[in-house]
Amino acid sequence: MKPGRIVLLGTVLVYFGLVIASLWLLSLDTLTQASARYTVALLPLGPAAVVMVLAVRRYQKLHELAQRIHLLALAVAFVGTSLLVFTWSIFEFFGLFERFGLLGPISRPGREGSGGLLILGVMFTLYLIGLIWARRRYR
Amino acid sequence: MKNRLKELRAERDWTQEGLATLLGVSRQTVIAIEKGKYAPSLPLAFRIARVFEQRLEEIFDPEE
């Protein structure tokens, strides 16, 4: 594996580690001060910013056809996810679909999340579909 | 965009992989250009012209 990829994967792991640690700390009752809770909640943003910079650098190093392929895949993922989320939110608003939490529909009141993991899953799935389509297009 | 890449490469007995290495791109890029599925950027088109020692318009046909 190339060093650049190892650094990127390592930073992603650090990010997820900090997300888990931050969620764990926030779930404890020991952190009561609002400033401390905000600080802990914002901790993963540091490595997240590094991941973004590293990913953009990797993209810039790709040869031009690979850049085109990844751009098409990103367009599929971005437009597809935006439309799905927007449509879903309309259905949710009118009570046609159940509200979604972090991992799926949550019936228990007070546990509604942002649907972050679900959206991430949809985005990555659409990105992979876009990548396969774009690669075939230039084969 | 139609081009003479395949023909010029064949004249020199170069492989797609070899040409890709000379141009600093992937083999997939060479294949896509040869098939007319991908129009290269201006810097890459100039690199192609330099490698084949031809003028741009002798390799690429903008009419297609």
pLDDT tens digits for range B14-24: 999 999 999 99
Residues in chain A with CB shorter than 8 Å from the CB of B37 are 137-138
Exposed (0-12), middle (13-18) or buried (19+): which is A29, by Cβ within 10 Å? Answer: exposed
The alpha helices in A28-63, defined as continuous H runs, are 34-42, 45-61
Q: How many CB atoms are located within 10 Å of the residue A87 CB? A: 11
- Output the pLDDT for position A124: 94
- Mean pLDDT of chain A, nearest integer: 86
Q: Would you list the DSSP string of A60-92?
A: HHS-HHHHHHHHHHHHHHHHHHHHHHHHHHHHH
Mark yes or no for CB contact B31/A139 under 8 Å: yes
Compute the distance between CA of residue A17 and CA of residue A8 in angstroms, rounded to an integer. 14
Predicted ipTM > 0.85: no
Chain B: closest CA distance from residue A63 (Å): 6
> Does A29 reach chain B within 8 Å, measured CB to CB?
no
Nearest to A12 by CA among A41, A67, A54, A74: A54
Predicted TM-score of the model (pTM): 0.77
Residue A100 forms beta bridges with which residues? A105
Residues in chain A with CB shorter than 8 Å from the CB of B24 are 63
Compute the distance between CA of residue A98 and CA of residue A112 in angstroms, rounded to an integer. 10
pLDDT in tens, A40-50: 999 999 999 99
Residues A102/A105/A107/A113 CA torsion (nearest 10 deg): 20
Residue A113, pLDDT above cutoff 60: no
Mean pLDDT along residues A30-37: 87
